[in-house]
Amino acid sequence: LKDYGVFLGIDPEDIERLDDYKIVVIEPSLFDKDQIDRLHNSGKIVYGYLNIGSLENYRSYYEDFKDLVLGKYENWEDEEWLDVSDKDWQDFISLKAAKEYADKGIDGFFIDNADVYYHYRRPDIFEGICNILANLKAYNISVIINGADSFVSECIDKDIYSGLFDAVNQESVFTRIDFDNLKYYEQDEDTRSYYLDYLNLVKSSGIRVYLLEYGADESTAEKIASYC
C-alpha cells in the first residue's frame, strides 16, 4: 500500500481509487458517515478537507460570506481570499461546518488556505487563523495544515503550534505546475532549497511532514522517495 494520497476531486462513485492508500484526504461534504465507516473498515485513516482561508463560489454558504472577500485568488477562478478575522466566519467554519464533518467520523482535518496570512500579513488575520485552529483541536482529532509556511514559521517562532496543528502538508517541493500551459516540471533549485530548509525546521519541532507532488517523472519520484 502507498502511505498517503490526496483525492479532493472524487466522490463515492470513485471510491475504489482509494484502495491502494493507507491515509487519504477527501472532500467530506461528498461522503456520508456509512461511506467513511467503510473506508475505516478497509484499514484507512481518513482526513477531511476544510478550506478556512478562501471562499469558493460553489459552496452553499457563499452568499452568506461573500462580503468578507479580500481579493482574487490567482490561478483559482472559483475562489477568493477571505477575511478570516471575522468572528462569524470563524464560528461557522470551525464550529458548524467542521462539526458536520467530525460527526461523520473523520480521523482529522486537512486545513487549506491558511496562506491567506502570506497575502494579507495582518495581526488580525494571524489571530483569526489561530482561533479557527484552536476550535478544531477541541474535536480531539488530528489537524494537518496545508502549505502556509509563513503562518507555520511564526507559530514555531512563538512556540504556539502544538495547540493548533499536528502536521504540515507541503505542496510542490520537488515539482511545480505551469498553470498557463497546464504542464508539470521539476521545481527550481532555489524554491526547493527554501522548502527543504523550512521542512527541516518543521520536522525538528516535532511536527509531522507530508509532501504533495504533481506530475513527477520516474527520476524525480525517486528523489522524492529518497528524501521522505
CB count in 10 Å sphere of residue 95? 13
- List, for residues 181-217, the tens digit of each pLDDT value: 889 889 999 999 999 999 999 999 999 999 999 999 9
Instruction: Output phi, psi for 117, to 5 deg.
Output: -70, -30
d(CA 68, CA 162): 29
d(CA 75, CA 21): 29
**Confidence class of residue 148 from pLDDT cuts 50, 70 and 90?**
very high
Residues 6+ apart with CB under 8 A from 100: none
pLDDT of res. 178: 87
Using a cut of 0.85, tell me whether the model's pTM lies above it: yes
The secondary structure element, H or E, covering residue 34 is helix 33-41
Which whole-number Å values give the CA distances from 54 to 30, 46, 122, 127, in the listed order?
Answer: 19, 23, 16, 16
**Confidence class of residue 76 from pLDDT cuts 50, 70 and 90?**
confident
Quick one: which of 58, 12, 61, 56 has its CA closest to 32? 12
Residue found by looking up cell 494520497 in the block = 5
